[in-house]
Structure 1
């Protein structure tokens, strides 16, 4: 039996669920803009559960609705701006729609048409505590004008339209940054209150305990850590790098080396046994990994430590 409220795994799935033409989605470019009044929602409407693989902005000129992410629900009303990123599963519902613009874009679009170091310029894109923000009439008018320009370019046949959209989107992001996020510091959030970072560190510690005790026999990949939090893997990587100053691959490598050193120092296990305990399939792979990060081989490290 088909579910009445199926899960939408992507923007493409969501468009299909809403009976919107998927031709509106330029998959190669990763950008869309839509006025929700053109969708033809049967109100009140509640979406399926979905985890987006894109960033989005809602500009609500006139309308009322609600977004729910995990256990957090946020009301959205007239002259509010709502931002979401490719993080956890969520649903949205609408009670009234008069004029609401939805802009979506993925990381590849941002890096191609705005800046490769996009999260340095706009770190707020990775914030975890997000709720709709009501703005002044003047500010809403200024961002609405940009939305209308973006929409005009989007429906045009210009060969340069995505370059133009990229410039306009950058202006929009700079305006929003100055209005809402001027003092936002992702490192501070990561050190103090980031649930994503905290959960990642806890899982990292637990996983290596499981490897050491034999409860696990393969090392986690980035996707495994992301799946544990129902997150997009690129998003998790960006959050960890932005909020800790260290790439997720370095966190994993550092933890692997720390565990390897401990086993070499404090156990009588053979190099082969340590290899398998840490999830490596071959001793040569483990030895090369260890030497790359410590500039010495596991055998040399154990001998030196025992002198």
Structure 2
């Protein structure tokens, strides 16, 4: 049975194991989509050309100059459409970014927010500024500077701030209270459940009560906090994330509908079919590549 692919490949894996970080200029020929799967690293991509990113249950068409962020928890595939695709890429592991992972700007960035929009179309000035940052990273990467890793983390933060400046100001509404803390903890636990990559390891937490128990708080407290911060119920957020994962598995694996249902915590396949139909208006077979 085919399962979502594991990445990186041997060469990049060796580099990431040694350093946890790699930056490079890209020149990529036209190609079919890479295998769809989870990469166990973060990616910041400056894409120049025509390409598509199959990211989770979304497809982003990057025709022009784009800045793209890929989270290590979201499976994706890259499809190059132009003959001479260029740009830059920066990949790094969770351990590499850990010294600064608690920074507010990092947590609010497209790099960590798996539910946000990870692509940003750039104008000439933005392209020049970001290309300059990548060039500086590449130049400093080649030196023997003792604090090179700290410098690279600073460059990553600069790129993140460039992206945050491009977002509408309403994205920066602050909730400096206990509700935000609870909601952030909930979202972190929710995302750690995904992606589902093994039929023998089905979804563990399925209800608001499950999450409240994991967070050691009363479910009513959790529900109030989630509603205050997101405007949605806890059950709705869980259902939306399960729906996104279901569509991804239906599109990118050859698991049966029954297998996917069980992997996502549904006792019977018809319960899963009714859930998808209610959430999307379509039955599960609609999302299969060949509608079989």
Please say whether Structure 1 and Structure 2 have the same fold, judged by a TM-score greater than 0.5.
yes
Q: TM-score, normalised by structure 1?
A: 0.53
> What's the secondary structure of 1:153's corresponding residue?
helix
Aligned to 2:62: 76
Is the 1:84–1:130 Cα contact (8 Å) retained in structure 2? Answer: no
- If you compute each CA radius of gyration, which structure gives the higher value, 1 or 2? 1
Is the 1:30–1:108 Cα contact (8 Å) retained in structure 2? Answer: yes
> What's the secondary structure of 1:174's corresponding residue?
helix
RMSD of equivalent CA atoms: 3.9
Aligned to 2:95: 108
Deviations 1:12-48 (A, max 9, x none): x3xx3xxx5655x2425421112221xxx55323211
Is the 1:127–1:186 Cα contact (8 Å) retained in structure 2? Answer: no
Separation in 2, partners of 1:21, 1:121:
24
Distance 1:129 1:164, change over 3 A: closer
Is the 2:7–2:38 Cα contact (8 Å) retained in structure 1? Answer: yes
1:165, CA displacement in angstroms?
1.4
Deviations 1:257-282 (A, max 9, x none): x9xxxxxxxxxxxxxxxxxxxxxxxx
State how 1:1-307 maps to structure 2 within 5 Å. 7-11=4-8, 13=9, 16=10, 20=11, 22-23=13-14, 25-37=15-27, 41=28, 43-60=30-47, 62-96=48-82, 97-112=84-99, 115-119=100-104, 121-124=106-109, 125-180=112-167, 182-185=169-172, 197=187, 200=190, 225-226=193-194, 251-254=214-217
> What's the secondary structure of 2:146's corresponding residue?
coil
Distance 1:43 1:8, change over 3 A: same
Q: TM-score, normalised by structure 2?
A: 0.56
Distance 1:98 1:87, change over 3 A: same
> What's the secondary structure of 2:54's corresponding residue?
strand
What is the number of residues matched between the two proteins?
A: 199
Separation in 2, partners of 1:155, 1:46:
31
Distance 1:139 1:28, change over 3 A: same
1:253, CA displacement in angstroms?
2.2
Gaps of 5+ in 1: 201-221, 231-247, 259-307
Separation in 2, partners of 1:186, 1:8:
37
Gaps of 5+ in 2: 199-210, 222-292
Higher strand share: 2
